[in-house]
Amino acid sequence: MDLLLRQLHYTSFAGIGFQQLASQQVPQAVQTVFSDRIISCYWDVLNPPSLGYRAVYLHQMTSHQALFGWIYHEGIDEKTQNAIPYFICYYLDETLLSFHLDTIFTYLQKGPLAVIDRQNPSIIEKKVVPNLWTYKPARPGVIIAPEVCQQCHNALNQGELINLFVPLSAQETVIVLSEQTYEQQIANLSVYQNYIIEEIIDEFENLSDSSYQDKQSSSSQLNIKTNSVLLTKVNANSLPIASNTINSIAQESVKKSSLADVNSIPFDRNNIQFLLRIGIIATTLAVTISIYRLIQISISNPISSEVGSNVQVEYKTFAEVPNVPEGVFNYGGSPTFAPLRSPAVLAALSQSQRQYQLRFVEPVGIPQGSGTGIKMLLDGELSFALSSRPLKQDELAQAKARGFALEQIPIAIDGITFFVNPRNLIVGLNLSQLQDIFSGKITNWKNVGGLDLPITAFSFDPQVSGTADVVQQRVLAGREFGNVQIVSTATEAILKVAATPGSIGYSSASVVVGQKTIYPLPLSIAPGEMFITPFVGANKTVLNKTALANGSYPLTRRLFAIVKRDGSLDEQAGVAYTNLLATDEGEKMIDQAGFVSIR
């Protein structure tokens, strides 16, 4: 995953009392909203929740600003005897789109990445969320019912701001499969397995203590009862967009059943530990079977696309992909995709699917870029577009006003590489330093450990370039570029940095890799954290695909095909393009182009 999240925390610290902490670059207005609309709304000091309480929330301030996180009951303060709340919040300063929403729901159900030490508070740093396979939550989250997720998606599609609040249900021991991606389902299943095992361990630990005390008497009896909740209970008043659905969920009854009545067995610690092991093994086996069945269902019933294609990533060659339309189809957009539209790639596609011909169209009189390509798609000049950044809210609104929808389909992973003149010896930079350089706050390399040289920064136009837009959002936190010199192409940026002492530029890693006239900079997320290099190998000529794939490289991004959802032949052409690149043969082409496959 490549979401850059800033953190906010609120709780009571030893010797300090209640305090709100925030990582750098969180605007004061956002901190105020966190205090007024999250903390004040979801924690009643006069009527606090019971011990063990936890909840999750998602609050959209605007279409491109969202707060989401967790609430925990931290116990009772010894002095005041009051319940202590702990709010963890992640601030996303990026347009909230459908795939973002799915990702956030997964995070909320898994739990926060880290918690702070209330005895010794430290500086709160911003986080880049890892992918689902390496996401290790510090605490459990809360299951969100699939009906609620769908209602949020509907609200997002209608341009409404989401305000979601979901408390922990009575017992979260039933796996509720939602309409998620395969990766998300598997990731969530692993979390729910932890819930189940923790529940069993808690039950038996409590039982073990009481049974050990009862052992002093002549006999003991055991009656175990567990509760199972079908769906998460949700406060209906906190989510108007899903009130009917939530009311129906809240009315689900809690089923109780007696699991055992073994009066004749004397229970000592050995008996308890034996049953504990049996319970854990049985639970793990049940969850494993569920995962196996999910895999079987996913393989035997692949989800088809909206234009009737049944293509999934199971196909090996271009020739095997069905539903590829006939005709000559115009496409255009980001120059980042240049390696994927080489003569070799286009020849391989046309030889395997002779009826399917692609023609790259460049804009007339204006620079080529993601924004330009999307505009040409909206104006009917292209069948589909290529973008190195996510869609923006105004682009989605324009499409809606014209009677169709736009969909971004990820096809590859890329990294944005910053590079300097090789005579400027810089070990690496963190994102905060990059922000100061490109905003104009830092103007000399000596301020970041380099030579006493003035800084000359080169940048693309963020109104045109998707790469510049990502840098503006992820590095500058949405602020404007400072005193930078605008370049039109990656080649121009490389040539100017190579010829200008004290200069710095950036481009796609696929373009920078192997360039000997510039020095690619290792990056870190924050001061004091490890620098991650975009390239590896003796001469830094090999893409660091591991760091890009797992999101540890700070400026990882996804590349998209933008498809117009209107049921036309153009839509089918765009979907076919993504399906072709999703094959084994397409994956090799992506690899050879200097990108990382999303598979």
Average pLDDT over residues 152-177: 73
- Residue 396, CA distances (Å) to 95, 399, 596 in order: 11, 5, 27
Let me know: does 329 contact 573? Beta carbons within 8 Å.
Answer: yes
Let me know: does 185 contact 149? Beta carbons within 8 Å.
Answer: no
CATH number for 423: 3.40.190.10
Digit-coded pLDDT (tens) for 452-463: 999 999 999 998
Question: What pLDDT score does 492 carry?
Answer: 94
Annotate 252-265 with b (16+ C-beta within 10 A) or e (fewer). eeeeeeeeeeeeee
Digit-coded pLDDT (tens) for 408-431: 999 999 999 999 999 887 899 999
| Bridge pairing between strands 484-486 and 456-459 | parallel
Domain identity same for 427 and 542? yes
Among 493, 468, 500, 497, which Cα is nearest to 481's? 468
Does residue 398 belong to any structural domain of this protein? yes
DSSP state letters, 553-579: STTEEEEEEEEEESSSHHHHHHHHHHH
Terminal-residue alpha carbon distance, the chain: 13
Question: What pLDDT score does 282 carry?
Answer: 60
Does residue 433 belong to any structural domain of this protein? yes
* Predicted confidence (pLDDT) at residue 21 exceeds the cutoff of 80: yes
E strand map for 14-125:
17-22, 54-62, 65-76, 83-92
The pLDDT confidence band at residue 281, using thresholds 50, 70 and 90, is low
Q: 283 forms bridges with which residues in the sheet?
A: none
Question: What pLDDT score does 570 carry?
Answer: 95
Domain identity same for 424 and 399? no
Question: What pLDDT score does 145 carry?
Answer: 87
Question: What pLDDT score does 219 carry?
Answer: 33
Average pLDDT over residues 51-65: 90
Does residue 259 belong to any structural domain of this protein? no
With tokens 């702070």, the residue in question is 116
The pLDDT confidence band at residue 276, using thresholds 50, 70 and 90, is low
Domain identity same for 563 and 552? no
Average pLDDT over residues 271-292: 56
Q: Is 411 left (phi over 0), alpha (psi -120 to 50) or beta?
A: alpha
Q: For 446, which DSSP code? A: G
Digit-coded pLDDT (tens) for 190-249: 333 333 333 333 333 344 444 434 433 333 332 322 232 323 333 333 343 443 443 443
The pLDDT confidence band at residue 272, using thresholds 50, 70 and 90, is low
Domain identity same for 419 and 552? yes
E strand map for 150-254:
163-167, 223-228
Does residue 227 belong to any structural domain of this protein? no
Question: What pLDDT score does 551 carry?
Answer: 82
Token pair for 289: 């079977």
Domain identity same for 423 and 536? yes
Question: What pLDDT score does 25 carry?
Answer: 75
**Stretch among 253-257, 279-283, 397-401, 533-537 having the lowest mean pLDDT:** 253-257
Question: What pLDDT score does 210 carry?
Answer: 43
Helix, strand and coil percent figures for the chain, each rounded to 5 = 35, 25, 40
Instruction: Give the total number of structural domains in the chain.
Output: 2
Domain identity same for 418 and 459? yes
Domain identity same for 438 and 531? yes
Let me know: does 350 contact 356? Beta carbons within 8 Å.
Answer: yes
Question: What pLDDT score does 15 carry?
Answer: 73
The pLDDT confidence band at residue 301, using thresholds 50, 70 and 90, is very low
Let me know: does 561 contact 312? Beta carbons within 8 Å.
Answer: no
Domain identity same for 393 and 504? no
**Stretch among 184-198, 371-385, 452-466 having the lowest mean pLDDT:** 184-198
Question: What pLDDT score does 398 carry?
Answer: 94
Average pLDDT over residues 159-175: 72
Q: 414 forms bridges with which residues in the sheet?
A: 557
Domain identity same for 419 and 518? yes
Among 147, 140, 166, 185, which Cα is nearest to 235's? 166
Q: Residue 64 class from Cβ within 10 Å (0-12 exposed, 13-18 middle, 19+ buried)?
A: middle
Separation of alpha carbons 248 and 151, rounded Å: 13
* Predicted confidence (pLDDT) at residue 184 exceeds the cutoff of 80: no
Separation of alpha carbons 57 and 70, rounded Å: 6
Digit-coded pLDDT (tens) for 528-577: 888 999 998 767 788 998 888 888 899 999 999 999 999 999 999 999 99
Let me know: does 18 contact 12? Beta carbons within 8 Å.
Answer: yes
* Predicted confidence (pLDDT) at residue 45 exceeds the cutoff of 90: no
Single-letter code of the amino acid located at 230: L
Among 468, 477, 471, which Cα is nearest to 371's? 468
pTM: 0.53
Does residue 501 belong to any structural domain of this protein? yes
267 compared with 308, residue with greater pLDDT: 267
Q: Residue 84 class from Cβ within 10 Å (0-12 exposed, 13-18 middle, 19+ buried)?
A: middle
Question: What pLDDT score does 157 carry?
Answer: 83
Separation of alpha carbons 471 and 328, rounded Å: 34
**Stretch among 65-74, 254-263, 450-459, 574-583 having the lowest mean pLDDT:** 254-263
* Predicted confidence (pLDDT) at residue 9 exceeds the cutoff of 80: yes
Question: What pLDDT score does 438 carry?
Answer: 97
Q: 9 forms bridges with which residues in the sheet?
A: 21, 88
**Stretch among 33-37, 53-57, 250-254, 383-387 having the lowest mean pLDDT:** 250-254
Domain identity same for 408 and 527? no
Question: What pLDDT score does 132 carry?
Answer: 46
Question: What pLDDT score does 135 carry?
Answer: 62
Question: What pLDDT score does 150 carry?
Answer: 87
Q: Is 388 left (phi over 0), alpha (psi -120 to 50) or beta?
A: alpha
Domain identity same for 396 and 521? no
Let me know: does 390 contact 94? Beta carbons within 8 Å.
Answer: yes
Question: What pLDDT score does 213 carry?
Answer: 43
- Report helix, strand or coil for 86: strand
Percent of the chain with pLDDT over 70: 72
Separation of alpha carbons 582 and 312, rounded Å: 7
Report the interhelical angle of 182-214 vs 98-110 (nearest 10°).
10
Percent of the chain with pLDDT over 90: 44
Does residue 128 belong to any structural domain of this protein? no
Token pair for 485: 């010199």
Domain housing 378: 318-413+558-592
Separation of alpha carbons 407 and 221, rounded Å: 61
- Residue 327, CA distances (Å) to 319, 348, 562, 573 in order: 16, 17, 19, 9
Digit-coded pLDDT (tens) for 489-509: 999 999 999 999 999 999 999
Does residue 378 belong to any structural domain of this protein? yes
Separation of alpha carbons 333 and 384, rounded Å: 9
Average pLDDT, the chain: 77
E strand map for 429-574:
429-430, 456-459, 484-486, 503-508, 519-520, 523-524, 535-536, 542-543, 556-565
The pLDDT confidence band at residue 343, using thresholds 50, 70 and 90, is confident
Q: 256 forms bridges with which residues in the sheet?
A: 227
Separation of alpha carbons 269 and 491, rounded Å: 72
Domain identity same for 531 and 449? yes
Does residue 519 belong to any structural domain of this protein? yes
